[in-house]
Structure 1
C-alpha cells in the first residue's frame, strides 16, 4: 500500500461486481466464479474448474470522484512446460465507458501445466497491488475489467474518495456461452475479447460464459443459462466438441436439442442465437481429437494439430463442417415453432478471407486483430438493424 493518501477502504461485495454468477468468500477475499456453486459441484473436469474461475467479462463497476484507486489481488499465473512464459494478465480501467488505463499485478500463485503428460503443479506466491492514479476528480463511472485468462482473487479496494456501486443504466443483458474463443484466448486484454467488443458497440450488459475447452453442451451450463436473467442469449458451440472428440453425430443432435430446450424453460421468448464455429482449417474436414503439436513445442512454439482421419466421418465422427450443417438443420427445424430462435454461421465472423489476412496464431484461436473484427461483425450482424438482437435490444434499452 502507498502512504500519504487518505484512503477509503471499501468492502468488496457482489454488488460491486458485474459479469460474475457467484462469489466465493476465501480466507483472504473474494473469488469471482462464472458458474454457480451447484454447477461447479457437478463438474469433475479440472480444465473447466480452472477456466470458469478466470474472470472473463467480470468487472468492478463503481461510481466515484476518486483520483487514485488501488486494488490488492492474488492472481494465479499459468505457465506451460516447454513453452515461453506468458505475460502478466491485463486489467483494463474504463472511465465513463472509455479505456483510460491498463495495468498488471505481478507475483501470485503459479500453475505449471505439462500438456504432454496432462499434469500440473501449483506453487504458492504473494499478492500484489494494482494502482491507477491521476484520474479525473469529477464524479464518474469506473470499471476495472479483470484479466480474462488469469484467476484473480480480490483482496482489498482502496480509494481517495468514497465509492458506490454503479447505477443500472437499463442496458439489455446479453448472456453468451462459447469456447476459448469466446473466453478470449489470444485477445490483447479483457475489453478486447470479441464478446466484450460487441457488447460495447451495442451498449449491452455482457455476461460471458465463454469457457476455454468447456463448450461441451454440459447440462449444468444449460441450467445455469436457464436460471440467469437475460434479455438476449447466444450459444456458440462446436469447436470444443471436435477438439475433444467428445461425441458423434448421433449424440450431438439430441444434445443440442436438450441444451436449447433447457434454456427455453427459463427464457421462452428471448431472442436465442445459435452460432456455429468460426473457420479453423485443421478441423474443417478432419475430426478430432485436437492435440498440441509436440514437434512445434520442441521448437518453443505452441500450436495444435488434428489427430483424426477424414474417413472417420462415415462412422459419425464430427468435423466443423458436419457440425455447421447439423446446427443449421436443427435451428431451421425448431424455428418453425420458435420464431425467436436464430442461426449464424460462424464463418461470417471469421472465414477464409480473414484466415488469409489474419491467420490463427496457434491453429485454433484468433489473434487480437481477429477478435476486434469478430466483435465488430457480431455487433452488426446480431445487434444491427434486422439482426436477431436488434429490436429486443431497443426495447430493453
Structure 2
C-alpha cells in the first residue's frame, strides 16, 4: 500500500544514487553534481568552465523502488543571454527500466544573465522548484531521472511514496567521452537525446560525458581527470574550441595533443581510445578564429556566430578545422605504430558537407536536435558495432 499525500519517504542523495558525476559537492541546501573534481576546478576558476562543468550533461539519479510517485526538489540555475530569445527550461527525463516515460521541468531558480558582447555574467538568486512524476508502474523497477544537460541543478530532496534502494549495477561497459559544447549537448532536445547519450543507449554502455561547452581546450587537468576515471572505452572530440578561442598556434597544438594523450595513457595504457576531429563547421573550415557573436543577428529569432580570423594567417600557424583534422590524423597514425588501441575518426563522418546542405548549423556553430540524433546513430554504428574501435573490447 502506497503512502498518502503527506506520507513520503525521503532518501539521501549520495553517490549510491548519482551516476555520471565525478564529484558531489555538499551545499547548504543539498548536493551539487560536478563533472570535474574539486582539485581540477581549483586549477582554473574560469566562469565559463565553472558554468558548464556544473551543468549535469549525462548525470542521472538511479534507484530501485516500487514507488508510483516521485518528487525531486531542485535549485536550478537558468541562463539568460542578452539580446537572445529566452531559452526553454531545462528538461528532467524519467526512465523506467531503461525506457523514457515522462518529462518535467521547473520554472523557478537562480538566473544567470550572460552578455556575450560585453563578456560579463551576473547571477540573481531564486527559489527552489519541485518536479513531480506520478502514475509509475506499481511494481519493483529501476528508475532513472536524467538531469538537464544545459541547466545547473542543485539536488535538494528526493521523495517517493515507497522506499528506495540503490539500483543493482548492470555490469555494462563504461564509455568516457570528452568534447566541446556539441558533445555537451548544445541544442539537443533533451538530456537523453544529446548525441553521446543516444550513442550510449544504442551501444548498450554507461556514459560519463565530459563534454564541456567552450572548454575542450586540451587542459592538463582535464587529461588527468580522464586518466583517473575508470572506463572501458575513451573518446576525445578535439579541435573546434581551440579554433573558437584562437587559443594556440600549430606549434603549441601538436605537443599539447601528444601530452594530453600521454597523460590519459598513464592511467589507461591499453583502453580503446578514439580521437574524433571536428564536424563540418563552414565558418571555420579554412578561416581561423576567434569566433564572435554576429551582433547584427542579435535581437533576431536566430542569433549567429562568425569567424574573425584571416585565412592568410594560416601561413603563420593559425589553426583552422582543416589544419586540425590533418594534424590529428597524422598524430594518431604516428602513435598507432606503438599503440594499436588508438583510433581516429574524421568528424565529418558524423556531420559533413551533405548534412550541412540539408540541415545547416542554425547559429553557424551548433547542430540542431535532429542532427544530434543523426550524429548519435552514426557514432554508435561506427564505434560499437562490427569492427568498430570499441566493439572488439566488448
TM-score interval, normalised by the smaller of the two chains:
over 0.9
Which residue is 1:203 aligned to? 204
Contact 1:288 1:318 survives alignment (8 Å): yes
- State the secondary structure of the residue aligned to 2:392: helix
Alignment of 1:158-307 (within 5 A): 158-307=159-308
Pairwise CA distance, 1:301: 3.0
Per-residue deviation, residues 159-197 of structure 1 (Å, max 9, x unmatched): 001111111111001000000000000000000000000
Question: How far apart are the structure 2 equivalents of 1:311 and 1:145?
Answer: 46
Which residue is 1:375 aligned to? 376
Which residue is 1:90 aligned to? 91
Pairwise CA distance, 1:300: 4.8
- State the secondary structure of the residue aligned to 1:391: coil
Contact 2:4 2:161 survives alignment (8 Å): no
Which residue is 1:25 aligned to? 26
Pairwise CA distance, 1:15: 1.2
Pairwise CA distance, 1:131: 0.3
Which residue is 1:310 aligned to? 311
Question: How far apart are the structure 1 equivalents of 2:371 and 2:301?
Answer: 23
Per-residue deviation, residues 50-108 of structure 1 (Å, max 9, x unmatched): 10000000000111111000000000000011111111100111111111001101110
- Number of residues paired by the alignment? 392
Q: Which runs of 5+ in 2 are unaligned?
A: none
Which residue is 2:330 aligned to? 329
Contact 1:304 1:363 survives alignment (8 Å): yes
- State the secondary structure of the residue aligned to 1:171: coil
Contact 2:59 2:147 survives alignment (8 Å): yes
Pairwise CA distance, 1:270: 0.2
- Structure 1 residue 109 and structure 2 residue 110: aligned? yes
Question: How far apart are the structure 2 equivalents of 1:299 and 1:159?
Answer: 44
Q: Which runs of 5+ in 1 are unaligned?
A: none
Root-mean-square deviation (Å): 1.0
Alignment of 1:108-147 (within 5 A): 108-147=109-148
Question: How far apart are the structure 2 equivalents of 1:188 and 1:318?
Answer: 31
Alignment of 1:337-376 (within 5 A): 337-376=338-377
Contact 1:196 1:375 survives alignment (8 Å): yes
User: Structure 1 residues 302, 3: closer, same or farther in 2, change over 3 A?
Assistant: farther
Contact 2:72 2:155 survives alignment (8 Å): yes
Pairwise CA distance, 1:120: 1.4
- State the secondary structure of the residue aligned to 1:186: coil
TM-score with structure 2 setting the length: 0.98
Contact 2:172 2:206 survives alignment (8 Å): yes
Alignment of 1:33-52 (within 5 A): 33-52=34-53
Contact 2:351 2:375 survives alignment (8 Å): yes
Contact 2:188 2:368 survives alignment (8 Å): yes
Pairwise CA distance, 1:361: 1.1
Per-residue deviation, residues 264-283 of structure 1 (Å, max 9, x unmatched): 00000000000000000000
- State the secondary structure of the residue aligned to 1:14: coil
Question: How far apart are the structure 1 equivalents of 2:302 and 2:346?
Answer: 30
